[in-house]
Amino acid sequence: MIPRPPRSSEPTVAEAWADVLVHRQLLHAVVLTPTGRWLVQDRPDAPVRVRASQADALALAATIQQRTRSTRPESR
């Protein structure tokens, strides 16, 4: 994986959440483009999805997480 360049400013709330989702391995990659669109990839071999806003990117992450959790066997 290619390391991200350091940020020049504090992350937005959406960027911080995206970082957490990647760090916790719930998503493979989430990148904000200069145009304000978000590129989201849930697995390394999955297609990159383009989202128009930060809300759309986080909604996609929530859908992926819900699908992942619903397919796991119950461990409790």
* 5-54 pLDDT tens trace: 666 678 788 788 888 888 988 889 988 888 989 898 988 999 999 988 87
For residues 49 and 39, the answer to whether their CB atoms sit within 8 Å is: yes
Q: How far apart are CA 49 and CA 63, in angstroms?
A: 13
Tokens in use for 63?
């859908």
Q: Which two tokens stand for residue 67?
A: 């699908």
First-to-last alpha carbon distance for the chain, in angstroms, is 34
Can you give the pLDDT at residue 44? 92
**Which span out of 12-16, 29-33, 61-65, 66-70 was modeled with the highest average pLDDT?**
29-33
